[in-house]
Homo-oligomer: A and B are copies of this chain.
C-alpha cells in the first residue's frame, strides 16, 4: 500500500491528482469545475495538471471507470448466480452498498453523469448493463413468489435502488456508521418495511 520511493522531484502523481480532482468534481459538479479550480485544490498551476493527465475529460473517464469496474465485478460474481432470487437480490443490494461506500466519490460522480460527452455516454451504457442485471433479478424474485404480488417489479427495482443510490447524497464516512450497518438498515426497511408490526 505504501507509495514506492521514486526518483525526481516529490509532488503529485496521476493517482493523487485523480483523487483530489474527483472531490472537487463532486463539490462543484464536473461542468462547474474549471482546470483553475483543480489547480487551486492541488496547490499547483493549471499547466502542471497536464503533466499527470491528458486533460479534464480523461480525469472524468478514469473516475467513472473506477465506479463501473466495481459494479462489473459484482455482476460477474458467482454468488449473484445461484439460489433463490430473493436471496441473491439481498446479496446484490448489500454488495452494492459496500461498493458505493467503498468507492463513494467515484460512484457519486457516476450517478450524476448525464451524457454530455462521448465519455459520459460510454459510462451511461456500462451503467445500464448493471441496471438491467438488477431489474432481471427482481423480476426473477417476483416470478418465484418472493415479492408481494401487488408491487410492480420494475417499480420495485427503481425505488429499491433509488434508496441505495441516495447514499451518495448524504453518507459521509466520518460520521456515518459502517457500510454493513447501513446495508442492514436498508435491507430491513425495504424488504420488511419501516412500520412496526404491532401498530
Please list the residues of chain A having a beta carbon within 8 angstroms of any beta carbon in chain B. 27-29, 31-32, 86, 112, 114, 116, 145-152, 155-156, 158-167, 169-170, 182, 185-186, 188-197, 199
Q: Would you call A192 and B190 a contact (CB within 8 A)?
A: no
Closest to A165 in B: B166
**Nearest CB in chain B: distance from A153 CB, A:** 9
Is B193 within 8 A of A149, CB to CB?
A: no
B114 touches A145 (CB 8 A): no
Interface centre among A32, A147, A148, A199, by most B CB within 10 Å? A148
Q: Is B114 a contact of A151 with CB atoms below 8 Å?
A: no
A114: nearest residue on chain B (CB-CB)? B29
- Taken together as a complex, chains A and B put the C-alpha atoms of A197 and B163 apart, in Å, by 22
A40 shortest CB reach to chain B, Å? 15
Known: A112-B112, A148-B194, A190-B193. A162 touches B160 (CB 8 A): no
A35 to chain B minimum Cβ distance, whole angstroms, is: 14
Inter-subunit contact A192/B195 (CB<8 Å): yes
Q: Select from chain B the residue with minimum beta-carbon distance to A152.
A: B185
- Which residues of the other chain, B, contact A195 by a CB distance below 8 angstroms? 86, 146-148, 191-192
